C-alpha cells in the first residue's frame, strides 16, 4: 500500500472517540495515520482496528525496546494489524533489531503485510544537554548517525530522525533507506516540547520520505483544512 501523500497524522490521544473523529476528519487528506504508545496503551489492538479504516496506511509507533525475544513476540503480535510502518529503538542493539526483522519476515510468510521496521535514533525532544545527562557525549548528530548505521546494518528498512538530520543521513545511507521525520511544524505553528523542528517543505527537500505531523493538525479548529494547508506548503 502506497500512501497518497507523505503526511502521516499523529493521533496523540488515549480517547478512542476523539481519535475516531480526527481520523474521519483527515482520512481523505493525509497519506496515513500514526498511532502511538498513549493510544495503544489505552485501547490496545482492538482500538486500532476501530480507528484506522481499511485502505488507510497505518504507522504504529510503539518504539519497542526490550530483550530480542520479547520484541520479536511483540512484532508478531501486532503484525495482524497490518501496519505499514512499525518502530523499534535502535538503541536496543543489533540482536534485538535482527530478531524484530525475523518476526516481520515471518508475518509476511504467513500472508500478513510485512511491516517496514524503523529504528528510532534520538528522540526529537532531546538535545545535547539531555544526551550528556544520559552519559552520551558529543553532538546529537553523531549519536544519530551511529544508531542509523547500526539500524541499516541490522537490516531495518529505515529510521525515524529529526528534520535537521535528514540531509546528512540521506547522503550517508542512500536513497533506498526510509527516513521518517517527526518534529514537523508548518508556518506559524508552535514548537511545543519538540526541540529539533523544521517546516514540511524544507524537510522534504532535505530528503525525507514521510512526515509526521500531530498537534498542528489535531489541535486545529478544522483538522482537514490544517492538513491540506501542509500539503499546499509542500507543493
The total number of structural domains that make up the chain: 1
Average pLDDT per run of 10 along the chain, which is 235 residues long? 92 94 95 97 97 94 98 96 97 97 89 92 85 86 94 97 92 96 73 61 94 93 94 89
Residue 147, in any domain of the structure:
yes
Q: Is 153 exposed, middle or buried (0-12, 13-18, 19+ CB in 10 A)?
A: exposed
Which runs of E-coded beta strand occur in the chain?
7-11, 32-36, 58-64, 85-89, 116-120, 158-160, 178-181, 210-213
Domain CATH number, residue 21: 3.20.20.70
Residue 1, in any domain of the structure:
no
Return the pLDDT at 188. 54
Residue 2, in any domain of the structure:
no
- Which cell numbers hold the place of 170? 540521506
Residue 157, in any domain of the structure:
yes
Q: How far apart are CA 176 and CA 112, in angstroms?
A: 23
Nearest residue to 166 (alpha-carbon basis) of 154, 184, 150, 153: 184
Return the pLDDT at 191. 46
Residue 151, in any domain of the structure:
yes
Domain that holds residue 40: 7-234
Question: Whole-model pTM above 0.85?
Answer: yes
Annotated catalytic residues are 63
SS3 223: helix
Return the pLDDT at 187. 63
Residue 229, in any domain of the structure:
yes
Q: How far apart are CA 123 and CA 113, in angstroms?
A: 27
Residue 105, in any domain of the structure:
yes
Residue 200, in any domain of the structure:
yes
Amino acid at each position: 500500500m502506497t500512501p497518497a501523500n507523505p503526511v502521516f497524522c499523529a493521533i496523540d490521544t488515549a480517547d478512542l472517540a476523539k481519535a475516531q473523529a480526527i481520523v474521519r476528519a483527515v482520512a481523505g487528506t493525509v497519506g496515513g495515520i500514526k498511532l502511538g504508545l498513549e493510544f495503544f496503551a489505552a485501547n490496545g489492538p482492538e482500538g486500532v482496528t476501530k480507528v484506522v479504516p481499511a485502505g488507510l496506511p497505518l504507522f504504529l509507533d510503539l518504539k519497542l525496546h526490550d530483550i530480542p525475544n520479547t520484541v520479536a513476540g511483540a512484532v508478531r503480535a501486532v503484525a495482524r494489524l497490518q501496519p505499514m510502518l512499525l518502530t523499534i529503538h535502535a538503541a536496543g542493539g543489533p540482536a534485538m533489531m535482527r530478531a524484530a526483522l525475523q518476526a516481520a519476515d515471518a508475518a509476511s510468510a504467513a500472508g500478513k503485510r510485512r511491516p517496514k521496521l524503523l529504528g528510532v535514533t534520538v528522540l526529537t525532544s532531546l538535545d545535547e544537554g539531555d544526551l550528556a545527562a544520559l552519559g552520551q557525549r558529543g553532538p546529537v548528530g553523531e549519536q544519530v548517525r551511529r544508531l542509523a548505521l547500526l539500524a541499516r546494518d541490522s537490516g531495518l528498512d529505515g529510521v525515524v530522525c529529526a528534520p535537521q538530520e535528514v540531509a546528512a543521513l540521506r547522503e550517508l545511507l542512500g536513497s533506498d533507506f526510509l527516513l521518517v521525520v517527526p518534529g514537523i511544524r508548518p508556518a506559524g505553528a508552535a514548537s511545543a516540547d519538540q526541540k529539533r523542528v523544521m517546516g514540511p517543505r524544507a524537510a522534504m527537500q532535505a530528503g525525507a520520505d514521510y512526515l509526521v505531523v500531530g498537534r498542528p493538525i489535531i489541535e486545529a479548529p478544522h483538522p482537514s483544512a490544517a492538513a491540506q494547508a501542509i500539503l499546499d506548503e509542500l507543493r
